[in-house]
Amino acid sequence: MSPMPLVIIGGGPAGYTAAIYAARAGLHPILYQGPNPGGQLTITGDVENYPGYRNGVTGPTMMEDFQAQAERFGAIVKTGTITKVDFATYPRRLILDSGVELLAQSVIIAAGASAKWLGLPAEKRLYGKGVSTCAICDGFFFRGKSVAVVGGGDTAAEESLYLANLCQRVHLLVRKGQMRASKIMQERVFKNTNIQIWFDTEVKDIIGQEHVKAIEVIHALSKATTIIEATGLFVAIGHQPNTLPFLPYITVDDQGYIQTKKRTTHTNIPGIFAAGDIQDPHYRQAVTAAGTGCMAALDAERFLQQPYRDF
């Protein structure tokens, strides 16, 4: 089996931007979309801050545009999750969930990040029965009902605003005395009379056997507990990078994000590059992910041009 020049892992803004640049450079990239084709943007609503879309665009439409643009230049897009790698040998070995093995001279890891969970036992039991991480996917089922959203960042703000249009009442549970969300999102939440914000409030338990019936919360300062009637709990407390298959080889930071060398997308392994949310604990925007996807393609192109790969 002859190795492919470049395999891109991940079908979000970082992966597709890398594919556009790499395809235009004649590197014949193959991009593998993972279990969530299009990445996190496919479960978001309107994207208003991606430059070039003056009236905003929905996340799924934007990702269709990214894919079509990459394919126009010859990138091949496939579905499949990379579950295991061998970066100790060259060419690099990648193993798909189907068992199929690939060989690649260079790899761009753009596998993104996944939603974090609170870690309550009831959360797993009631997932899909009132517990959700995606208001746009599941909000419709809670029309006219009372729901809770946990988190204080932009995702929690966005989910609360979306649900406030559908639901009878939205309880936003923020564990600190202030939100971390951007000012504009906070203002929108504060102005919305259908959203009740509970500051200094943590989720203690989710009540319900077959379906969520209520949320038990505890006030961080007074330690008083309250039962909030709600048939849904939307968990919006951030994300963790999808690094698991790469961990034996790739160096990550103390938060688990792939470490890249200063001002580049180089990882600790020659010819392996990282782009997007999997290496970015700070910015995590579609536009910054796309920017690092471009950088990774340029880094891979330079790597592949080297006459000798001496390692």
Instruction: For the segment 18-57, give every residue that binds ligand NDP (CB under 6 A).
Output: 49
Distance between CA atoms of residues 77 and 90, nearest Å: 23
Asked whether position 287 contacts ligand NDP by CB under 6 A, the answer is: no
Q: Does 152 bind ligand NDP (CB under 6 A)?
A: yes
Shorter beta-carbon distance to ligand NDP: residue 238 or 256: 238
Nearer to ligand NDP, 143 or 176 (CB): 176
Identity of the amino acid at 170: V
Beta carbons within 8 Å of 86's beta carbon, 6+ residues apart: 92, 93
DSSP label at residue 267: -
Q: Would you call 294 a catalytic residue per the annotation?
A: no
Contact call for residue 175 and ligand NDP (CB under 6 A): yes
**Residue 219 beta carbon to ligand NDP: minimum distance, rounded to whole angstroms:** 13
The binder of ligand NDP chosen from 76, 96, 118, 298 (CB under 6 A) = 118
Q: Which of 65, 86, 97, 137 is catalytic?
A: 137
Question: How far is residue 137's CA from residue 14's CA, in Å, rounded to a whole number?
Answer: 23
253 as an active site residue: the answer is no
Residue labelled with tokens 């761009």: 108
Provide DSSP, 52-105.
T-TT-EEHHHHHHHHHHHHHHTT-EEEE--EEEEE-SSSSEEEEETTS-EEEEE
DSSP string, 6-24: EEEE--SHHHHHHHHHHHH
Report if residue 78 touches ligand NDP, rule: CB under 6 A. Answer: no
Asked if 155 touches ligand NDP (CB under 6 A), the answer is yes
Residues that bind ligand NDP (CB under 6 A): 49, 118, 150-156, 158, 175-176, 180, 182, 237-239, 284
Query: Which are the catalytic amino acids?
Result: 134, 137-138
